[in-house]
């Protein structure tokens, strides 16, 4: 297989420009593609700003200008992929749009080129059906912000070849991370949300319940955010990821996993009003002055409880093991830390299954959501052996 030199990133938004930046930093040629010049220009400007920051810190081995000279811009996907060795699709979370992108790439890229999707949730196998090279279609799931989050999931579609996966693993391993060493997880089965997003997905069912309860009781998002600890409070993280990405993901999970994932009232309203979070300047919070800071004066909502999120994630981690998406709970814990800076939930809870089953039953009682039903592997405690 040809060495990867030319990378095409389709979609120059928050993920696309991050993927472009780390690819440029290892000496690769990058073409950023979007549907309008203004979007490509904005993506390019973000990368340029990041490179200049790194240059000022003496963290680059060549000048920012020399690096940026390897970055091309395009709004013509068909011609942009003519010399591509790998294409990474990072457009909106919509299957039809992604399939159209895969089709155009397949029709115009060289035969050896790998086509990867950065989808958060959706089936790589289905995207590959839009091409005549399903063996070269894979998932490459980066985490936001790409230059700072260590995780990349490399995902097998049903027809992906081992060769394509190994090539993508090799490429992923070369990409720098500004905060520590990259962790590349091989995802063995093409299931909704893969590993990291799947384990955390049902927490969104709980979050939707809490958001709607807060709206009903007139509790502020600032107070709700004071209920949680961790690298980013719940509403800030939702805005940071993007309410559109969250909404589309929930709709997808509601069709593929359980209707319990259907977006709640608050998330639907924000989505319908175009309040998409950081990218539009307004979501749960106002982002016009940058990332919202915690406001202790708002007090606490005293609604969101960590014990529920832990039980939910442990149960879902067991489902991921049952389905063979990965074979080890250690991988799940590593993935959570590398992708979300979240301490592992599986290891430290060993032998704690009975307690977690109780908590899950309490949640079902409270929310009426049957998806929280403890799975067989959790109840049997056999997951502990799947190290």
Told to check if 143 binds ligand CAA by CB under 6 A, we report yes
Q: In what order do the strands lie in the sheet with 86-89?
A: 71-74, 29-33, 6-10, 86-89, 114-117, 137-142, 151-156, 183-187
Locate 78 and state its tokens.
């068909």
Catalytic residue among 141, 208, 248, 353: 141
Instruction: Pick from 73, 75, 145, 381 the residue near ligand CAA by CB under 6 A.
Output: 145
Q: Find the part of the chain contacting ligand CAA (CB under 6 A) among 6-14, 30-38, 78-86, 143-151.
A: 143-151
Locate 257 and state its tokens.
């996993």
* β-sheet bridge partners, residue 154: 140, 186
Nearer to ligand NAD, 44 or 221 (CB): 44
Closest separation in Å from C-beta 53 to ligand CAA: 4
Is the Cβ–Cβ distance between 139 and 117 less than 8 Å? yes
Task: Looking at the chain, list the stretches that DSSP marks H as alpha helix, in order from N- to C-terminal side.
Answer: 14-25, 37-56, 64-68, 77-80, 95-108, 124-128, 162-174, 196-200, 203-217, 221-225, 234-241, 243-256, 265-272, 306-322, 329-340, 353-367, 376-380
Is the Cβ–Cβ distance between 72 and 42 less than 8 Å? no
Task: Let me know if 153 is a catalytic residue.
Answer: yes
Nearer to ligand NAD, 118 or 356 (CB): 118
Closest separation in Å from C-beta 17 to ligand CAA: 8
Residue 283 C-alpha from the chain's centroid: 18
> Residue 117 in 3-state DSSP?
strand
Told to check if 241 binds ligand CAA by CB under 6 A, we report yes
DSSP assigned state of 3: P
Out of ligand NAD, ligand CAA, none, which partner does residue 34 contact, by CB within 5 to 8 A per kind? Answer: ligand NAD
- Residues numbered 68 to 127 that lie near ligand CAA (CB under 6 A) are 120
Closest separation in Å from C-beta 326 to ligand CAA: 16
Told to check if 341 binds ligand CAA by CB under 6 A, we report yes
Instruction: Pick from 23, 74, 161, 197 the residue near ligand CAA by CB under 6 A.
Output: 197
Out of ligand NAD, ligand CAA, none, which partner does residue 40 contact, by CB within 5 to 8 A per kind? Answer: none
Q: How many residues bind ligand CAA (CB under 6 A)?
A: 21
Nearer to ligand CAA, 203 or 384 (CB): 203
Q: Find the part of the chain contacting ligand CAA (CB under 6 A) among 73-81, 98-106, 140-148, 352-360.
A: 140-148
> Distances from the Cα of 14 to the Cαs of 59, 95, 245, 287, 308, in angstroms?
22, 19, 12, 15, 30
- The residue number with the shortest CB distance to ligand CAA is 50
Closest separation in Å from C-beta 91 to ligand NAD: 4
Give the C-alpha separation, 317 to 198, whole Å. Answer: 8
Instruction: Pick from 231, 290, 297, 351 the residue near ligand CAA by CB under 6 A.
Output: 231
Told to check if 53 binds ligand CAA by CB under 6 A, we report yes
Catalytic residue among 23, 29, 123, 153: 153
Is the Cβ–Cβ distance between 155 and 88 less than 8 Å? no
Give the C-alpha separation, 196 to 187, whole Å. Answer: 10
Task: Tell me which residues touch ligand CAA (CB under 6 A).
Answer: 21, 50, 53-54, 120, 143-145, 147-149, 178, 197, 231-232, 237, 241, 245, 339-341
Q: Which residues are catalytic?
A: 120, 141, 153, 197
């Amino acid at each position: 297989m040809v060495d990867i030199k030319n990378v095409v990133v389709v979609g120059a938004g928050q993920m696309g420009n991050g993927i472009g930046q780390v690819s440029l930093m290892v000496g690769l040629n990058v073409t950023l593609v979007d549907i309008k010049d203004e979007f490509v220009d904005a993506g390019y400007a973000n990368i340029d700003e990041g490179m200049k920051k790194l240059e000022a810190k003496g963290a680059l081995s060549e000048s920012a200008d020399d690096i940026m000279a390897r970055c091309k811009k395009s709004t013509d996907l068909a011609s942009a992929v003519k010399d591509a060795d790998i294409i990474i699709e990072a457009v909106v979370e919509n299957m039809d749009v992604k399939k159209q992108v895969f089709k155009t790439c397949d029709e115009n890229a060289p035969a050896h080129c790998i086509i990867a999707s950065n989808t958060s949730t959706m089936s790589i196998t289905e995207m590959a059906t839009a091409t005549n090279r399903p063996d070269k279609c894979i998932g490459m799931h980066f985490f936001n912000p790409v230059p700072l989050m260590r995780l990349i999931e490399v995902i097998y579609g049903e027809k992906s070849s081992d060769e394509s996966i190994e090539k993508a693993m090799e490429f992923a391993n070369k990409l720098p991370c500004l905060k520590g060493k990259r962790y590349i997880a091989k995802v063995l089965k093409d299931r909704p949300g893969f590993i990291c997003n799947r384990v955390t997905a049902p927490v969104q069912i709980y979050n939707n319940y809490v958001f709607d309860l807060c709206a009903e009781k007139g509790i502020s998002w600032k107070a709700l955010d004071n209920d949680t600890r961790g690298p980013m409070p719940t509403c800030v993280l939702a805005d940071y990821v993007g309410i559109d990405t969250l909404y589309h993901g929930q709709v997808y999970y509601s069709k593929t996993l359980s209707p319990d994932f259907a977006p709640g009232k608050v998330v639907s309203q924000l989505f319908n009003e175009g309040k998409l979070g950081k990218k539009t300047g307004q979501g749960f919070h106002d982002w016009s002055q940058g990332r919202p800071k915690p406001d202790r004066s708002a007090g606490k909502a005293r609604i969101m409880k960590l014990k529920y999120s832990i039980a939910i994630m442990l149960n879902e981690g067991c489902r991921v093991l049952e389905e063979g998406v990965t074979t080890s709970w250690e991988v799940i814990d590593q993935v959570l830390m590398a992708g979300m800076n979240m301490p592992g939930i599986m290891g430290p809870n060993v032998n704690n299954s009975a307690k977690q089953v109780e908590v899950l039953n309490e949640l079902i009682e409270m929310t009426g959501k049957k998806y929280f039903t403890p799975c067989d592997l959790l109840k049997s405690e056999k997951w502990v052996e799947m190290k």
